[in-house]
Amino acid sequence: MSDVKGDTLKSADILPVQCPQCSEAQNTINGILTDTFDTANIGCMVCGYQFDQGEYRRLLADRQLEFASLQLGDM
């Protein structure tokens, strides 16, 4: 997983986040992801819910922590 520097979406690993409305984790990104997140809209592919900037960043950070803590066991 990449290191998130400067709290930008361009430097983050984008993972699907769970929708607070329907609980699905299928996201759409419309627009261009910039450092300030001001030209892209991120929503739920299932129900159409639109995330606001802070909400999506918080849910993305939570999701990244979940993935970072996964254990694959001894290979």
Domain membership flag for residue 13: yes
Domain membership flag for residue 59: yes
Domain membership flag for residue 75: no
CA within 13 Å, CB half, 52: 2
Domain membership flag for residue 61: yes
Counting the structural domains of the chain, the total is 1
Domain membership flag for residue 18: yes
b vs e for 11-45, b when ≥16 Cβ sit within 10 Å of the residue's Cβ?
ebeeeebebeeeeeeebeeeeebeeebeeeebbbe
Q: Which domain holds residue 54?
A: 1-70
pLDDT per residue of the chain (75 residues) written in tens, 0 to 9:
444 455 555 545 667 899 999 999 999 888 776 655 567 788 999 999 999 988 988 998 898 888 888 776 655
The burial of 67, by beta-carbon neighbours within 10 Å (0-12 exposed, 13-18 middle, 19 or more buried), is given as exposed
